[in-house]
Amino acid sequence: MSGTMNITLKVWRQSGPSAPGAFETYKAPGISPDMSFLEMLDIVNERLIEGGKDPIAFDHDCREGICGMCGLVINGAAHGPSKLTTTCQLHMRSFKDGDSITIEPWRAKAFPVIKDLVVDRAPLDRIIQAGGFISVATGGPQDANALPVGKPEAEQSMDAAACIGCGACVAACPNASVSLFTAAKISHLGLLPQGQPERYRRALKMVAQMDLEGFGGCTLFGECMAACPKGISIDFIKRMNGDYIWGSVTEAPVKVTLGGG
Amino acid sequence: MKLDSKIPSGPLKDKWDKHRFDMKLVNPANKRKYHVIVVGSGLAGASAAASMSELGYNVSCFAYQDSPRRAHSIAAQGGINAAKNYRNDGDSIHRLFYDTVKGGDFRAREANVYRLAQVSNNIIDQCVGQGVPFGREYGGLLANRSFGGAQVSRTFYARGQTGQQLLLGAYQALEKEIAKGGVKMYNRHEMLELVVVNGVARGIITRDMVTGAVEAHVADAVVLGTGGYGNVFYLSTNAKGCNVTATYRAYKKGAAFANPCYTQIHPTCIPVAGEHQSKLTLMSESLRNDGRVWVPKRKEDCGKKPSEIAEADRDYYLERKYPSYGNLSPRDISSRAAKEACDDGRGVGPGGRGVYLDFADAISRLGAPEISDRYGNLFDMYQRITDENPYEVPMRIYPAVHYTMGGLWVDYNLETTIPGLHCIGEANFSDHGANRLGASALMQGLADGYFVLPYTIGHYLASNKFEKVTTDHPEFQAALASVQTRTTRLLGIKGKRTVDSFHRELGKILWEKCGMARNATGLKQALQEIPSLREEFWKDVTVPGSGDSFNQSLEKAGRVADFMEFAELMVTDALHREESCGGHFREEYQEAGEAKRNDEQYAYVAAWEYAGDGQAPVLNKEPLEFESVHLATRSYK
């Protein structure tokens, strides 16, 4: 690979949820284009620690684009400039020597900052708790091949199930709507025969929960789909809306609460 | 220490049925009075917590990530085995059992493995019921693929994201139970100590990673599903947060640690790119179904582009050495063969530590669209990381630390040597012996969590009386104090070196001396180097920040401190086992380049018992008896 790069970072620093935050500037010389974005941050942090300073807090875990733990707004884009790529899979070869890079946390009322670039995404779990499952207990199901599922339906369900729950859709949305995340789960389960008995009630409850959590409304801008590292289609939101409307007609009203978990 | 495996009597195929009948039951109305702690929310932890809550137990579940859905099980790509025999190709429970015992190089317990094969079929049923979108045929029935080390197609998969989909199934079941109130979930909590009262596990001490609060939790039983210790090598395919702390703390409280030297080096990972490398990325073994592994025959060709090396000048070494399994040879064998080729100076790519995995033949036979359909997401991931297009140039791969077969010793009930402390999934020494076959980690994690522990925990709870214990008990207070002391000590060193720099150095020692090939000289050197590195760590590490706030450096420091001690146990085990078996290859013990087992002296589980700091651990042996499988030299030729 070609030589190393010198990068300037503008990073959002915030010591806690109620503390005021601000951008700080850091020089990052000697960065290899083969490094991942988080490896670049590792190096910046190593230097900060050696200099007796507080390192930049950011969430990450698997570093292979599947756990959904990482997520930074890089130069204004959730997960940065590369399509279909999580922050951990973004590599420094996407940037040029001398670039200045702005790094911010997910910004949404429903995702308060814990520290620096780390946010609290507990509402996503609560949306699943509201109905993002099929109510089968361990040991109950019949033989797996007793229930054929057409390949196209299985594939479409898998397209929706590929969501990693990172929250980039919320960060990218001008309204901070969580519709793509919610719709992906409603569609994953609703496209399968196993998911039919609870299909409409599931949609009602999950939608009610996302509204309660303080996420914004969806106006089908499509920013979420553009930012989604797994390419989840906005068509699933239309499907969710259809299930919701049908559920509002056919199902008894639902009640959801904040908290739990 | 007395190791009682509690294997039920009777014929192998009837043991689990008999045991399920013999075990005591807890009255449904009494179940909610029992509190069970589950540490970890991966396949094993989430499935266990959800299933126990469904039964009516009062469960608390702890995870270090911000959501249970992020546990590292999510990264498993290839698939999950089951003995369904949907392909009519000769599979059966007995064959899955046999393949697993043989694949583990005859170092696993027969009865456990047989049970695993039996419940494998229930797992697939369960997952389909939950809505796991497995790959399907056009007729609507489930699809299968073959996987390394097996000659039947018994692997179920969801594209290259099987672990993700299985974990989401378990996660959704867990969230369902959280909503119902049966499970209380503690995210961003890390277990830092086990509490043992009168010889019985009665709780844990955790740190709230957001507020820094150190808290005590009392329970009637504790279950650890905290994964493997591969990150002791620093570079591995594990997630960055994976650690040995929970199981190692349990070891120091009296749980025997079994076979820590059995580590799995996965043959198909993306090679190291440079010093900055923070982790290694696996390329699913399923790629070996269609990819052919080769290196140049001549060293002089290594610098050439692969397209410039004629077919006759390529060494398809797996096909050459193991004609009947070829590119699908088991992981330990394939990894060592890659190392040999590179040691021979015939490795490719930067630093010469890589071999080709070539899809040219498969693309010309099946067409690029079919290959994209099978492996598209893996090819994309490879290109993202390496900036090379695997449809056009062969992938470069090299072995990397992936899975650990060793773990806490457990009996047939998955109970450790501390009564009340159970251990499931990768965290126990498990059913994989000295080597794990592909697509069997997911199977074991879910078998333990869905279908074994929910039965055996009831037997434990129904068989014992529990004295009333609160967090005021002296053992809880002592454990709380020891966690606080340790935190204060780590923060107070204020040395010059970062935690990561120590971790990297430890990893290098282990990779070089206790990695793919080991010998007595290197292991003895490691036993000198590790304690001195540890001493330096406690003198010169710097951990910024405070204990009472969000502090990722402090989290890492605690984990690395435990790795520093655990590494010594691992090397001690590797040195004591004077044979080669599965992932443990001792250079002194080989025959014509193949691993040479010593069944007369080493057909046992090595269960190490903590004897105090600075004291040599005590070796306890559980002899392995093979009644159904004939001990044979493993051959894949």
* Average pLDDT of span B498-516: 97
- Record: contact A133-B173, CB cut-off 8 A: yes
What band does B637 get if pLDDT is binned at 50, 70 and 90? confident
Q: Which amino acid is at A12?
A: W
Residue of A nearest to B74 (CA): A67
Query: Looking at beta carbons, which residues of chain B come within 8 Å of A141?
Result: 125-126, 128-130
A94 at the B interface (CB within 8 A)? no
| Exposure string over B46-61, b if 16+ CB within 10 A, otherwise e | bbbbbbbbbbbbbbbb
pLDDT at A1: 45
- Render pLDDT for B146-188 as a digit per residue (tens, 0 to 9): 876 688 999 999 988 999 999 999 999 999 999 999 999 999 9
Residues from chain B that touch A154, judged by Cβ atoms under 8 A, are: 133-136
Q: How far is A244 from chain B (nearest CA, A)?
A: 20
Mutation target among B125, B283, B452 for the A interface, most CBs of A within 10 A: B125
Q: Is the pLDDT of residue B622 over 70?
A: yes
CATH architecture, domain defined by A121-250: Orthogonal Bundle (1.10)
For residues B4 and B24, what is the distance between their CA atoms, to the nearest angstrom? 19
Q: Which residues pair with B36 in a beta bridge?
A: B59, B221
Question: What is the rounded radius of gyration, in angstroms, for the C-alpha atoms of chain A?
Answer: 21
Given the DSSP bridges, would you call strands B58-62 and B263-269 parallel, antiparallel or unpaired? unpaired
User: Least CA distance to B167: which residue of chain A?
Assistant: A67
DSSP one-letter code for B308: G
Q: What percentage of chain B reaches a pLDDT higher than 90?
A: 92
Q: Read off the pLDDT of residues A100-127 as tens digits, 9 standing for 90 and up.
A: 999 999 999 999 999 999 999 999 999 9
pLDDT surpassing 70 at residue A167 = yes
CA quadruple B92, B431, B415, B123: dihedral positive or negative? negative
Q: How much is the average pLDDT of A13-39? A: 96
Å between A151 CA and nearest CA of chain B: 5
| CA–CA min distance A93, chain B (Å) | 9
pLDDT value of residue B633: 81
Write down the CATH superfamily of domain B12-24+37-262+405-463.
FAD/NAD(P)-binding domain (3.50.50.60)
Q: Which residue of B has its CA nearest to A46?
A: B498
What residues contact B312, with CB distance under 8 A and at least 6 apart? none
Tell which A residues from 168 to 187 touch B, by Cβ distance under 8 Å.
none
For residue B494, the model assigns a pLDDT of 97
Task: Kindly report, residue by residue over A67-90, the tens digit of the pLDDT.
Answer: 999 999 999 999 999 999 999 999
Residues B49-108: tens digit of each pLDDT: 999 999 999 999 999 999 999 999 999 988 999 999 999 999 999 999 999 999 999 999
pLDDT of residue B376: 86
Domain locations in chain B?
12-24+37-262+405-463, 267-399, 487-599
Residue B364, pLDDT score:
96
- Residue B168 and residue A62: Cβ atoms within 8 Å? no
pLDDT bracket for residue B598 (50, 70, 90): very high
Q: How far is A219 from chain B (nearest CA, A)?
A: 28
Closest partner residue to A158 among B51, B158, B544, by Cβ?
Answer: B158
CB-CB neighbors (< 8 A) of B140 in chain A:
148-151
pLDDT of residue B138: 96
Q: Is the pLDDT of residue A2 over 70?
A: no
CATH 1.10.1060.10 residue window(s) in chain A: 121-250
Chains A and B form CB pairs within 8 A to the count of 222
Q: Which of these, A96, A61, A57, lies nearest to A75 by C-alpha position?
A: A96
Chain centre to alpha carbon of residue B531: 25
CATH topology of domain B267-399: Flavocytochrome C3; Chain A, domain 1 (3.90.700)
The CA distance from B200 to the nearest CA of chain A, in Å, is 28
ipTM: 0.97
DSSP 8-state class, residue A61: S
Q: How confident is the model at residue B534 (pLDDT cuts 50, 70, 90)?
A: very high
Is the minimum CB–CB distance between A62 and chain B shorter than 8 Å?
Answer: yes
Looking at residue A260, its pLDDT comes to 47
CA distance B553 to chain A (A): 8
Superfamily of domain A5-115: Beta-grasp domain (3.10.20.30)
Could you give the C-alpha distances from B211 to B61, B159, B270, B446, B473, in angstroms and in order?
Answer: 18, 39, 37, 32, 24
B67–chain A nearest CA distance, Å: 7
Mean pLDDT of all residues belonging to chain B: 96
Nearest to B429 by CA among B411, B456, B413: B411
Of B131, B496, B545, the CB nearest to A188: B131
pLDDT at position B519, please?
97
Q: Which residue from B133, B172, B387 is facing A192, i.e. has the nearest CB?
A: B133
Chain centroid offset of residue A230 CA:
10
| Closest residue to A145, CB basis, from B142, B277, B496 | B142
Contact A165 B173 (CB under 8 A): no
Q: From the CA of B635, how many Å to the nearest CA of chain A?
A: 34
Chain A partners of B549 at a C-beta cutoff of 8 Å?
16, 115
CA proximity to B238, closest of A114, A94, A56, A63: A63
Q: What's the pLDDT at B469? A: 97
What pLDDT does residue B628 have?
93
pLDDT at A63 over 90: yes
* Burial of A139: CB neighbours in 10 Å, binned 0-12, 13-18, 19+: middle
How far is B625 from chain A, CA to nearest CA, in Å? 31
A3 pLDDT above the threshold of 50: yes
| CB distance B354 to B172 below 8 Å | no
Chain B CB within 8 Å of residue A189 CB = yes
Chain A, nearest residue to B52 by Cα: A138
> CA of A217 to nearest chain B CA: how many angstroms apart?
24
Beta carbons of B83 and B144 less than 8 angstroms apart: no
Contact at CB, A142 and B129, closer than 8 angstroms: yes
Task: Using CA coordinates, name the residue in chain B closest to A186.
Answer: B131
Q: In chain A, which residues fall in CATH 3.10.20.30?
A: 5-115
Hunting for tokens 């001990």 — which residue is that? Answer: B631
Residue A55, chain B, CB below 8 Å: the answer is yes
Among B131, B282, B501, whose Cβ lies nearest the Cβ of A134?
A: B131
Classify residue B277 as exposed, middle or buried by CB count within 10 Å of its CB (0-12, 13-18, 19+). Answer: middle
- Of A55, A138, A195, nearest to B454 by CB-CB distance is A138
Query: Does B636 have pLDDT greater than 80?
Result: no
Q: Does A89 sit within 8 Å of B381, measured CB to CB?
A: yes
**Best to test chain B binding among A91, A138, A199 (most B CBs inside 10 Å):** A138
Across chain A, mean pLDDT equals: 96
> A195 CB near a chain B CB, below 8 Å?
yes
Q: What is the mean pLDDT of residues A137-151?
A: 96
The residue to which tokens 């989430």 are assigned: B46
- The predicted pLDDT at position A78 comes to 98
Average pLDDT of span B193-213: 98
Q: What is the pLDDT of residue A261?
A: 42
A positions 101-130 inside 8 Å of B (CB): 114-115, 118, 120-122, 124-125, 128-130
Q: Indicate if the pLDDT at residue B21 is higher than 80.
A: yes
Residue A252 has pLDDT above 50, yes or no: yes
Instruction: Provide the 8-state DSSP code for A216.
Output: P
pLDDT of residue B149: 65
Bridge partners of A23, per DSSP, are A12
Q: What is the mean pLDDT of residues A19-41?
A: 97
Predicted confidence (pLDDT) at residue B530 exceeds the cutoff of 50? yes
Task: Domain B487-599: give its CATH code.
Answer: 1.20.58.100
Mean pLDDT of B501-522: 97
> Using a CB-CB distance cutoff of 8 angstroms, which residues of chain B are in contact with residue A36?
278, 385
User: CB B176 to CB A135 under 8 A?
Assistant: yes
* Residue B238: closest CA among A62, A243, A192: A62
